[in-house]
Structure 1
Amino acid sequence: MEKKYRKYGLISIKAVEHLVLMIIAIATIVAIGQEILHIFEAREVALADLLLLFIYLEVLAMVSHYAESGKLPIRMPLYIAIVALARYLILDMKAMDDWRIVAISVSTFILASTVIVIRWGQLKLPYPRRNENS
């Protein structure tokens, strides 16, 4: 009886997981549409607009990868964070004091360094392959 509940529990959790993934994908697509509409209304494409579209694209890629593999590579949210910080810096640089610019720059450098370290670790220190029978 316990196995039956465990099986239905896992099925339920997977169903909720896929539902939330679909909601995230749909919301991201809507946001992309809104941004494109904004670009057409403004009749100009700013760098901030392109960076925002790139963030949306990364979110969609992350959802797609997670839906296909069931795994979320930690590098994808880091890429999104780096682009978001760059966008923030580009948009508000004139209104920022020097310390805030330095803090954002250092944060971006730390995130980029983290990506490099994670990638190096994946190449040089890979996880052992799991035995599919266990």
Structure 2
Amino acid sequence: MNDNNPKEIKNIEHRIESWLIPTGNLFVSLFHRIALFAIGAATVWAAGMSFFEMMQKPYASVQDLLLLFIYLEIGAMVGIYFKTNHMPVRFLIYIAITAVTRLIIDLVGTKHEADMGILLMGLTILVLALANALVRYASNKFPSKPDQHGGE
């Protein structure tokens, strides 16, 4: 073995890394784009099917409309992530609030009475609303740097 061998190995490692890292980044980026497209397409399909089912009924319930709002928020979230590579956490909170609201309406519609489950779901909405306020405050008070990739 000669003294140049460790340098040659380092040079080979550097050449391999200079090819693998951009290739890996490309595959990750392609996966994100394909997955976002699939989620967006599935959201449009699900929203369309829900709308079609809703049109078959003599009227649209509040639950039906809230479900369409959930699809709208998912679509907006996918669009924002597609354009900015930032996960809008607030939209996830909005979706959760809307979903819990649908559950409350369903429970009240079937039981016709208030119970502890409905109260706990109302408290869940309050906690989610406070979390949303905290996320909004934190994103305004401590904005992320333009070169960082992360959520709100």
- What TM-score, normalized to structure 1? 0.90
Matched, 1:20 2:35: yes
How far the C-alpha of 1:126 sits from its partner, in A, is: 2.9
How far the C-alpha of 1:98 sits from its partner, in A, is: 1.4
CA distance in 2, matches of 1:69, 1:129: 10
How far the C-alpha of 1:40 sits from its partner, in A, is: 1.3
Matched, 1:33 2:48: yes
How far the C-alpha of 1:125 sits from its partner, in A, is: 3.2
* Residues 107, 118 of structure 2: 8 Å contact kept: no
Gaps spanning 5+ residues in structure 1: where? none
Choose which of 26, 51, 74 in structure 1 pairs with 2:89.
74
How far the C-alpha of 1:122 sits from its partner, in A, is: 2.0
CA distance in 2, matches of 1:21, 1:129: 22
Choose which of 106, 128, 139 in structure 2 pairs with 1:122.
139
Give the match's secondary structure for 2:143.
coil
Deviation string, structure 1 residues 32-70 (Cα, Å, up to 9, x no partner): 111111111112111001000000000000000000000
Match of 1:42 in 2: 57
CA distance in 1, matches of 2:146, 2:80: 20
2:66 aligned partner, one-letter code: L
How far the C-alpha of 1:10 sits from its partner, in A, is: 0.8
Question: Which sits farther off after the overlay, 27-36 or 58-67?
Answer: 27-36
Could you list the runs of 4 or more consecutive aligned residues of structure 1 that deviate by over 6 angstroms after TM superposition? Answer: none
Gaps spanning 5+ residues in structure 2: where? 1-15
Match of 1:87 in 2: 102
Q: 1:14 to 1:125 in 2, by over 3 A?
A: closer
CA distance in 2, matches of 1:75, 1:20: 21
Rg: which structure is higher? 2
CA distance in 2, matches of 1:56, 1:13: 26
Choose which of 21, 45, 48 in structure 2 pairs with 1:6.
21
Give the match's secondary structure for 2:60.
coil
